[in-house]
């Protein structure tokens, strides 16, 4: 998801739903980038809907909303990497 000053409410609701649907699968912690570490992903994700309710459609908070989209992207990348590593380990040599 590219950066926007204001995200569509439907996009934000879909993101809230994604985090809720995957809550039990979320990693404990993750690096979003080299300077951003989320220590408790489940806690952070569980409060995302509150943040959206307060500031989601205000143009000054686009970077905050982008952070949650990036968080989801990093989680999916981590899952794909872990899946690849598991599959590589199971291939007989």
CA distance 93 to 79: 24
pLDDT over threshold 70, residue 8 = yes
Residue whose entry in the numeric block shows the structure tokens 């995200």: 7
| Confidence bin at 6 (pLDDT 50/70/90) | confident
pLDDT over threshold 80, residue 61 = no
CA distance 63 to 5: 7
pLDDT over threshold 90, residue 75 = yes
CA distance 8 to 3: 12
pTM: 0.84
Task: List the chain domain ranges.
Answer: 9-90
Whole-number pLDDT of residue 88:
86
pLDDT over threshold 80, residue 59 = no
């Amino acid at each position: 998801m590219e950066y926007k000053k204001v995200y569509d409410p439907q996009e934000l609701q879909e993101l809230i739903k994604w985090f809720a649907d995957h809550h039990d699968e979320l990693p404990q912690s993750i690096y979003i980038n080299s300077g951003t570490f989320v220590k408790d992903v489940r806690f952070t994700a569980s409060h995302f809907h509150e943040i959206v309710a307060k500031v989601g459609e205000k143009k000054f908070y686009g970077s905050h909303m982008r952070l949650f989209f990036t968080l989801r992207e990093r989680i999916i990348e981590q899952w794909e990497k872990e899946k690849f590593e598991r599959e590589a380990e199971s291939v007989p040599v």
